[in-house]
Amino acid sequence: MSTADWLPDGFNIQRIATNDTHLSVAVGGSGPVLVLLHGWPQTSRAWARVLPDLARTHTVVVPDLRGTGASDRPDDGYAKTNQADDIRGILKALDLRGPVAVAGHDIGSMIALAWAAAHPEDVSHLVLIDAFLPGLDLEAAMNVAEGGMWHFGFFMTPHLPEMLFDGHELEFVTATFTAMSNPGTFTDEDLAAYAREYTGRERLRGGFAHYRTLLDDGRENRALLSHRHLSMPVLAIGTTFSGTATAKVLRPYADDVQEAVAPTGHFVVEEDPAWFVAALDDFLTPTRL
């Protein structure tokens, strides 16, 4: 039986030792392996609305990233290539062999890209959902002097964000999620659940730690992609806010980039799960085992 009330039947949660930490991982379904990597400030719960459909055709592996949810919150190790090693260790522990399809949203997209760049032999299909990518377009997006987004630099500052957000987690989650999604996407229960996962300075620190490696992540991505192209098919999913921007920045670095624009805000999977399942199915179907 699941230990999370949002998980559909047929999924169970395991706690897996990997890469000098422990991650909480939901696993269900059967067929080719599909790894789903959530963004911030979310947990594996972000995929709840699509798991029943995806599990009909895939073995679906859904971790809480290090620093989030029921996973450990180590002091370091948040570089995106190192977190890719977290996921590689999970697959080894589960005796699931690759190459595998991987889909990431937001921070999860950054990890998925780093994984594909560092270990292309592991990844059969790469899906990146509405994210700026370190080393490609993130640095320009976080340049406030040119109109970039202020929050990247703020979240990268040690200690201060935890101090200011402490006690205001639900307010922040509510304001952020509702501003960046179609009305009615998230229930009060959803918002409260996500806020609980980031309540208190230690949980907040685990979340912000994903941001505090971004400049190094960019340098690492540029080095990796300077001497190899991504050979696997890539699906870059944009939104009504971002359009096809991610596909455009990826094309110099990948052999086969397909693009799609979801009729949603930032939280594609939760705003329109049917659209996402159909887009993913179309992308994966030609080589489905």
Which is nearest to 103 in space by CA: 130, 127, 133?
127
Domains located in the chain, CATH noted: 11-134+218-287 (3.40.50.1820)
Structure tokens at 87: 């996921």
Tell me the backbone φ, ψ of residue 258, rounded to 5 degrees: -105, 150
- Contacts for 95-98 with beta carbons within 8 Å, 24 or more apart? 96/33, 96/59, 96/61, 97/33, 98/33, 98/122, 98/123, 98/124
For 37-69, give the DSSP string.
E--TT--GGGGTTTHHHHTTTSEEEEEPPTTST
Each residue's pLDDT, cut to its tens digit, for the chain (289 residues) gives 345 789 999 999 999 999 999 999 999 999 999 999 999 999 999 999 999 999 999 999 999 999 999 999 999 999 999 999 999 999 999 999 989 999 999 999 999 999 999 999 999 999 999 999 999 999 999 999 989 899 999 999 999 999 999 999 999 999 999 999 999 999 999 999 999 999 999 999 999 999 999 999 999 999 999 988 999 999 999 999 999 999 999 999 999 999 999 999 999 999 999 999 999 999 998 654 4
pLDDT tens digits, residue range 162-220?
Answer: 999 999 999 999 999 999 999 999 999 999 999 999 999 999 999 999 999 999 999 99
Give the pairing of strands 123-129 and 100-105.
Answer: parallel
To the nearest whole number, what is the mean pLDDT of the chain?
A: 95
Q: In the prediction, which pLDDT does 98 show?
A: 84
